[in-house]
C-alpha cells in the first residue's frame, strides 16, 4: 500500500530534496534566521522516508527548543519564500485542523504553488513521527540516493479557509447550530485586535486565527463532557489562556529567581 505522504512529494530522491533545501538556504541566507533554518531542517529530516512530513507544531517546538510563536513565524516565512509548501490537514472525525503536511519545494520552482494548500485528502489521520536516528542535519553531506515513489495526488474540492467559515462549519457539524459563529468570531476579533495594533504582532494575524479555532475546538469538545451555561464566556477564557501561553509563557521564565537577587541601583 502506497503511503499517503508519497502523494505529496515534489522531488524524486532524498538527494534531490537535500540539495534543494541547501540551495534554498544559501539563496535566502540573509533573509532567514537561525530558527528558520532549524525549522526547515526538522521538516527535511522528517521527510526523508516519504518525501513529505506530517508534523504538529509541538513536535517542531520540541525539536528546536523554541516557542510556538517562533515556529509559526518560521513556517510562514518558509512558505512566503517559496521554500516549502504547507497543506492544512483536515481531521475526518474532529472536522478540525490537525498536524499540517509540509513539502520541500524544488529550488527552481519557488513560488509556484499548485493550489493544494487547503485541500483535504481521504486518508487516515496520522503523523509522520518516525525520525531516522542516523539522519544527518542539513549542514552535513548529502545522503545516499534513495528513490521516493512519486504518485500525482488526486485533486479534491477546495475547502474554505476563512476563520469565520471554519467556525460555522465546526458549529454545524458538532452542535448543529451556526448562530453563535458571529459572536465567537467577534470575541476573537476583540482579543486579537488589542494585540495586532502593536507593530511587534502586526504580522501574526494567522497565528491568532489558529489559536481562535483551537479555542473553539476545545470549547465544543467541552460541551460533550459537561453542561456549559455561558458558551461564549467559556470560549473567551480558553482563548485568553491560549494567547497567554503562546506569547507570554517564555517571558515568565526570565523571572524565575527571587526578587532580592536582582540588582537595583
For residue 129, pLDDT beyond 70: no
Provide the pLDDT for residue 126: 52
pLDDT for 189-202, tens place per residue?
999 998 888 888 88
Please, which residues have CB within 8 angstroms of residue 247's CB and are 6 or more apart in sequence?
A: 69, 195, 201
Provide the pLDDT for residue 138: 53
Averaged pLDDT of the chain: 75
What is d(CA 27, CA 119) in angstroms, rounded to the nearest whole number?
Answer: 30
pLDDT for 16-64, tens place per residue?
998 899 999 999 998 999 999 999 999 999 998 889 999 888 889 988 9
Q: What is the mean pLDDT of residues 5-20?
A: 89
Q: Tell which residue, 39, 55, 47, has the closest CA to residue 9.
A: 47
Question: Higher model confidence: residue 75 or residue 136?
Answer: 75
Q: What angle do CA 113, 208, 220 make, to 5 degrees?
A: 105
For residue 184, pLDDT beyond 90: yes
Q: What is the mean pLDDT of residues 132-146?
A: 45
Please, which residues have CB within 8 angstroms of residue 126's CB and are 6 or more apart in sequence?
A: 54
For residue 142, pLDDT beyond 90: no
For residue 116, pLDDT beyond 80: no
Q: What is the mean pLDDT of residues 51-80?
A: 90
Domain boundary assignment for the chain: 1-156, 163-251
- Binned at pLDDT 50, 70 and 90, residue 237 comes out as very high
13 backbone φψ class: left, alpha, beta (φ>0; ψ -120 to 50): beta
Contact 234, 228 (CB under 8 A): yes
Q: Tell which residue, 87, 103, 99, 114, has the closest CA to residue 59.
A: 99
Provide the pLDDT for residue 79: 93
Question: Higher model confidence: residue 92 or residue 30?
Answer: 30
Tell me the three cell numbers of residue 117: 494548500
Provide the pLDDT for residue 253: 43
DSSP character for 159? -
What is d(CA 41, CA 137) in angstroms, rounded to the nearest whole number?
Answer: 7
Please, which residues have CB within 8 angstroms of residue 10's CB and are 6 or more apart in sequence?
A: 51, 85, 103, 104, 105, 106, 109
pTM value is 0.51
Say which range, 2-11, 72-81, 111-120, 126-135, has the weakest mean pLDDT.
111-120
Question: Higher model confidence: residue 10 or residue 156?
Answer: 10
Domain 1-156 of CATH type 3.30.420.10: no
| DSSP codes joined into one string, 82-141 | TSEEEE--B-TTT-SB-SEEEEEPPGGGTT---S-TTB--SS---------TTPPPTTSP
- Binned at pLDDT 50, 70 and 90, residue 83 comes out as very high
Amino acid at each position: 500500500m502506497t503511503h499517503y505522504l508519497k502523494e505529496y512529494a515534489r522531488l524524486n530522491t532524498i538527494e534531490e530534496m537535500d540539495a534543494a533545501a541547501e540551495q534554498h538556504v544559501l539563496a535566502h541566507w540573509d533573509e532567514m534566521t537561525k530558527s528558520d533554518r532549524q525549522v526547515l531542517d526538522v521538516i527535511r529530516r522528517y521527510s526523508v522516508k516519504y518525501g513529505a512530513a506530517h508534523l504538529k507544531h509541538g513536535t517542531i517546538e520540541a525539536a528546536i527548543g523554541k516557542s510556538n510563536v517562533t515556529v509559526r513565524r518560521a513556517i510562514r516565512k518558509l512558505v512566503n519564500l517559496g521554500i516549502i509548501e504547507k497543506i492544512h490537514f483536515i481531521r475526518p472525525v474532529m472536522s478540525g485542523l490537525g498536524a499540517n503536511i509540509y513539502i520541500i519545494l524544488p529550488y527552481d520552482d519557488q513560488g509556484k504553488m499548485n493550489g493544494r494548500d487547503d485541500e483535504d485528502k481521504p486518508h487516515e489521520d496520522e503523523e509522520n513521527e518516525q525520525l531516522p536516528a542516523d539522519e544527518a542535519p542539513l549542514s552535513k553531506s548529502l545522503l545516499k540516493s534513495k528513490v521516493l515513489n512519486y504518485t500525482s495526488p488526486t485533486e479534491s474540492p477546495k475547502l474554505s479557509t476563512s476563520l469565520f467559515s471554519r467556525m460555522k462549519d465546526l458549529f454545524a457539524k458538532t452542535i448543529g447550530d451556526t448562530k453563535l459563529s458571529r459572536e465567537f468570531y467577534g470575541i476573537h476579533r476583540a482579543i486579537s485586535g488589542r494585540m495586532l495594533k502593536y507593530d511587534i504582532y502586526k504580522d501574526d494575524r494567522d497565528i491568532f486565527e489558529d489559536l481562535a479555532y483551537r479555542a473553539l475546538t476545545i470549547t465544543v469538545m467541552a460541551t460533550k463532557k459537561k453542561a456549559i451555561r455561558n458558551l461564549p464566556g467559556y470560549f473567551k477564557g480558553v482563548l485568553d489562556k491560549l494567547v497567554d501561553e503562546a506569547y507570554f509563557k517564555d517571558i515568565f521564565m526570565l523571572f524565575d529567581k527571587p526578587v532580592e537577587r536582582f540588582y537595583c541601583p
